[in-house]
Amino acid sequence: EKAGYKHFMAKEIAEQPVVLADALRHYVQNGRINLPDVDFTGVDRVTLVACGTASYACHVAKYWFEQIAGLPADVDIASEFRYREPVLSPTSWAVFVSQSGETADTLAALRHAGDAVARTLAVVNVPTSSIAREADLALPILAGIEVGVASTKAFTCQLTVLALLALKAAHDRGRIDAAELGRRLDALATLPGLMNHALRLADDIRDLAGELAEAQDILFLGRGPMFPLALEGALKLKEISYIHAEGYASGELKHGPIALIDNRVPVIVMAPRDALFDKTVSNMQEVMARHGKVLLISDARGIEEAGAGCWRTLALPQVADFLAPILYAVPAQLLAYHTAIAKGTDVDQPRNLAKSVTVE
């Protein structure tokens, strides 16, 4: 079943170009978004709710809904949402994201939102799941069965469906015209190919993973939509390698976490050469001034401009700015995988974790 791979996680990471292309074929037809039951006209807010990795996909989507569609978006962790008495409006939509579709807190949050919002949407991998059945509309992510406990291909497929929802919202609300929508969809269509390139970083990542495996603490930094990716990189690493890792918004560094930096702390900076690049690089230089071991993940131009003095660099292909979070997920997953292999942990069945968390 592992199709020649040593672990389900490795197989599922490698499958991403194919499953992403499947999802795109389903949701984009003849240059248009195929979401006939989705019209954001009159919707004035989206609330995104999930747990764990799926919540980081929601966090990225918040940037997309606000930046591309001009639509206010909130993100909540399901276990907080259900108890904090969120103020929901009848003109808003709530989106619940779950690979399994059975996560107890996310299901309870969906029931909690119930009739208080205009509509509930489920972005799920298992179309027969409770969350899919109970939401007003279920959108499958089409990732195929995910066996590894650490979510990989489900995350990038969740992001893809959420990106399409945000683009649909932008178009429905008149924020982007047909030509701009077409350009964005063309950019999405390049992702499977770009992901194939990203997968070729596996050898370089294996090379540096031995050293990462020695670390006690690892920080991940990113800005804008790369901030949730920093959170995801840290979660993936801690859950399968058991190394303590934290993700931070790069601008937050000097508000506390910089105190942790010394020459034993690897700092992984995820920074495509976008409008925020210079800001992130200046945070990275603050780390280097304190002898932190920086691994810069960027594109060739970013590395040429800022790679000097880094411990290591990894170059991804150039990608449309809004899609960087999907592409940069691949090296984050590979880093966790190869570090865990170097430590000898059980990658597919990490201790204390279950694939589907059906208790509160």
Q: Which is nearer to ligand F6R, 16 or 98 (CB)?
A: 98
Q: Which is nearer to ligand F6R, 99 or 283 (CB)?
A: 99
| Among candidate residues 251, 220, 204, 168, the one with its CA nearest the CA of residue 329 | 220
Task: Find the shortest distance in angstroms from Cβ 95 to ligand F6R.
Answer: 13
| Among candidate residues 19, 56, 9, the one with its CA nearest the CA of residue 338 | 9
Q: Residue 86 in contact with residue 76, Cβ under 8 Å?
A: yes
Residues in Cβ contact with 39 at an 8 Å cutoff, skipping those fewer than 6 apart? 172
Task: Find the shortest distance in angstroms from Cβ 153 to ligand F6R.
Answer: 11
Q: Residue 42, Cβ neighbours under 10 Å: how many?
A: 9
> Is 355 one of the annotated active-site residues of the chain?
yes
Q: Which is nearer to ligand F6R, 158 or 250 (CB)?
A: 158
Instruction: Give contact residues for ligand F6R (rule: CB under 6 A).
Output: 51-54, 98-100, 103, 106, 150-151, 235-236, 239, 356-357
Q: Which is nearer to ligand F6R, 27 or 56 (CB)?
A: 56
Q: Which is nearer to ligand F6R, 78 or 258 (CB)?
A: 78
Q: Which is nearer to ligand F6R, 35 or 54 (CB)?
A: 54
| Among candidate residues 211, 198, 271, 284, the one with its CA nearest the CA of residue 241 | 211
Task: Find the shortest distance in angstroms from Cβ 325 to ligand F6R.
Answer: 16
Cβ-closest residue to ligand F6R? 52
Adjacent-strand bridge partners of 74: 47
Query: Active site residue: 238, 279, 343, 355, which one?
Result: 355
Instruction: State the virtual CA torsion across 59, 63, 65, 68 in degrees, nearest 10.
Output: -160
Question: What's the rounded Cα separation, in Å, for the pair 228 and 248?
Answer: 8
| Among candidate residues 354, 333, 342, 356, the one with its CA nearest the CA of residue 9 | 333
Burial label, 286 (beta-carbon count in 10 A; 0-12, 13-18, 19+) = middle
Q: Residue 106 in contact with residue 131, Cβ under 8 Å?
A: yes
Task: Find the shortest distance in angstroms from Cβ 96 to ligand F6R.
Answer: 9
Q: What is the DSSP string of 206-237?
A: HHHHHHHTT-SEEEEEE-TTHHHHHHHHHHHH
Task: Find the shortest distance in angstroms from Cβ 148 to ligand F6R.
Answer: 8
By 3-state DSSP, what share of the chain in percent is helix, strand and coil, each rounded to 5? Answer: 50, 15, 35
Task: Find the shortest distance in angstroms from Cβ 333 to ligand F6R.
Answer: 9
Kindly list the catalytic residues.
Answer: 355
